[in-house]
Amino acid sequence: MSEIRRKKVESLLQRELTEIIMSDDLKDPRVDKMLSLTDLTLSKDLKYAKIYISFYGSRETHVLIVEALNHASGFLRGLLARRVRLRTIPELRFILDESIERGFRVIKKIREVTG
């Protein structure tokens, strides 16, 4: 599998998953529509996808959202299969991306130091 093709598939899947989550197809009340899919990485054989999500909120909310998305991963795979023409739709695993929150903390610390 060429690296270029894999990057194109990653981009396509990330775009489609964002549209699915933002639409009314996913009705789980634990999933807030304001979350952001920051990255999606595929395994070399395209069978597994890690989706990194970010959301500004409490730690408990983060855990609930990741839990809900991982619980709905089979449903989301089915919706992806209807929207994307791939031989196999990868298994989805959602992971919390804390980089944005860490960035806010670093900026806050810098502002405290510089006064």
The residue segments making up the domain with residue 97 are 3-114
Give residue 80's pLDDT band: very low, low, confident or very high (50, 70, 90): very high
Instruction: Give residue 1's pLDDT.
Output: 62
β 48-54/91-96 pair status: parallel
Task: Tally the domains of the chain.
Answer: 1
Q: 73-83 and 59-71 helices cross at what angle (nearest 10)?
A: 60
Which CATH number does the domain housing residue 17 bear?
A: 3.30.300.20
pTM exceeds 0.75, yes or no? yes
Check whether 59 has a pLDDT greater than 80. no
Q: Tell me the per-residue pLDDT of 1-54, one tens digit each, with 9 for 90 and over.
A: 688 889 999 999 999 999 998 887 778 778 877 788 999 999 999 899 999 998
